[in-house]
Structure 1
Amino acid sequence: MKALWVVGDIHGAYDKVRALLLRAGLIDFGGQWTGGDAHLVFLGDYVDRGPNGVGVIRLIRGLEGQARSAGGQVSALLGNHEVMFLAALVFKQGDPHDRLGFREYWLENGGQPRDADQIEPAELGWLAERPAMLRVGDWLLVHADSMVYLKMGGTIDDVNASVRAVLAHANPDDWGCS
């Protein structure tokens, strides 16, 4: 079985996650994949609280392709901070659809306006497509042990499809359940 590495809750700590991956032998000093056929899974919460959430997203996205080319794999799950971030961007402050206060909630939970200013549309699309759950061998990988998953389906595929559907809705009430 190839090596499985799991990293959670980076929260914009770009320099720290790079140092961690470098020390583990998964990247080189230039940030390029050196993990061979290893499988690296990020459990979510790439943004908020720290200084460079967009840098973390860009690093992970780059490593996905590099790992694939080397016979390895990088998987990235959706965390609750990504959901808050996306909601804050979809339902902008002052918008009548933001009656639930998504932007304020995001900011109160460590939201970094500079991430909102720097994120590119393709990166937002990538975030919205992240699965909530992933099975690797006998391991079920999720960001958190939330009871909300039970409301979203009975299988990993069902839950992931339900999460994607919520993130595609323009109704803030649908987002409020996630």
Structure 2
Amino acid sequence: MLDPARSYDLIGDVHGCAHTLEHLLDRLGYHKLGGVWRHPSRMAVFLGDVIDRGPRIREALHLVHDMVEAGQALCIMGNHEFNALGWSTPAPPGSGKQYVREHTPRHARLIDETLSQFAHHPGDWHDFLQWFYEMPLFVDAGRFRVVHACWDGALIDLLRRQHPDGCVDEHFVQAAAVSGSFACMAFDRLLRGTDMRLPHGLTMTSGDGLTRSFFRTKFWEDDPQTYGDIVFQPDALPEPVAKTPLTPVEKNTLLRYGIDEPLLFVGHYWRSGKPAPIRQNLACLDYSAVLCGKLVAYRLDQETRLDPRKFVWVDVERPEALQ
């Protein structure tokens, strides 16, 4: 699917920020020719979450889709593309649900901006939903890998046996309606990452206003000792929780992406500050562009360890809707 000898520009979560994406592509040396953004020698790889939240979702989808169709880009699936499929796909009989992703107020809030922007373009939305099935859940190019949130090698090996190209179908999405199913586990782990329940029945209200009883965890720490050592999300844990020691059982349940494994690029996690590697073989490229952060790319050539100088970004100083 990807030529390992080629050079790539890996791009984080766009979330409907089409103008910002155009600024980033321009900075990376892409030019719009024949209606498609192209580079004479490089290819873009989008890490998912093109939709939701931002002011120009339809434009962003058309931009990315046209690049993919022209062979100028590859786009993997993010949790928001999966959410859209789940929202639109009837659940299988006996699941106790009407849709794979139930139409609750919480779920409606996340997809509302996308549905609003496509309200007068139903044919367009139908076509994009079909295109989401062409987005692989992961790509392993040998010397580097891409997945939206978390690389779980054992789970990916199982998934690859059923879907060698990483692309799934409607039956697989429907199977995800059943909690605990392999499909549900695959989407949750690869597109949302790993998490752990807060101790003592505690809950947290995050910056996006959602109350959760779980927190997102790192999947690469070699010897964590406390909850604070493994938290990986914008919202910090309360200090007493952060200092809570991990039990042996909790340590054994943690996933570990080894320092000697191939380069891995993820999005999803709403980072802030100056873009930089997490480890020498791991980078997150989601820097909250839609929240006036940064839209970030990494310029990958033939290196086998990440170079901090090869991050490129556009600062979003005010909401794109006002630009």
The TM-score range, normalised by the shorter chain, is 0.7 to 0.9
Supply the distance in 1 between the matched residues of 2:153 and 2:22 (Cα, whole angstroms): 32
Q: 1:7 aligns with which of 11, 14, 36?
A: 11
The higher radius of gyration belongs to 2
Q: Are positions 1:106 and 2:107 aligned together?
A: yes
Matched residue count: 169
Q: Are positions 1:172 and 2:173 aligned together?
A: no
Aligned to 1:134: 139
User: How far did residue 155 of structure 1 move?
Assistant: 4.0
Aligned to 1:160: 166
User: How far did residue 8 of structure 1 move?
Assistant: 1.6
Aligned to 2:266: none
Once superposed, what is the RMSD of the aligned Cα atoms?
3.3
Aligned to 2:125: 120
Supply the distance in 2 between the matched residues of 1:82 and 1:11 (Cα, whole angstroms): 10
Q: Cα distance 1:75–1:149, how it changes in 2: closer, same or farther (>3 A)? A: farther
2:59 maps to a residue whose letter is: G
Structure 1: 5+ residue stretches without partners: none
Q: 2:148 aligns with which of 122, 132, 143?
A: 143
- Judge conservation of contact 1:132–1:142 (CA < 8 Å) in 2: yes
Secondary structure of the structure 1 residue equivalent to 2:30: coil
Q: Cα distance 1:86–1:172, how it changes in 2: closer, same or farther (>3 A)? A: same
1:8-41 deviation line (CA, Å, top 9, x unaligned): 2111111111111112112338853330231210
Query: Scaled by the length of structure 2, what TM-score is found?
Result: 0.45
Supply the distance in 2 between the matched residues of 1:5 and 1:19 (Cα, whole angstroms): 14
Q: Cα distance 1:78–1:171, how it changes in 2: closer, same or farther (>3 A)? A: closer
Structure 2: 5+ residue stretches without partners: 92-96, 188-323
Supply the distance in 1 between the matched residues of 2:142 and 2:57 (Cα, whole angstroms): 29
Higher mean Cα deviation, 102-111 or 1-10?
102-111
Secondary structure of the structure 1 residue equivalent to 2:51: coil
Q: 1:63 aligns with which of 47, 64, 67?
A: 67
User: How far did residue 100 of structure 1 move?
Assistant: 5.7
- Judge conservation of contact 2:10–2:47 (CA < 8 Å) in 1: yes
Secondary structure of the structure 1 residue equivalent to 2:37: coil
1:76 maps to a residue whose letter is: C
Supply the distance in 1 between the matched residues of 2:104 and 2:11 (Cα, whole angstroms): 27
1:17 maps to a residue whose letter is: L
Secondary structure of the structure 2 residue equivalent to 1:134: strand
Higher helix share: 1
Higher mean Cα deviation, 44-53 or 142-151?
142-151
Secondary structure of the structure 2 residue equivalent to 1:109: helix
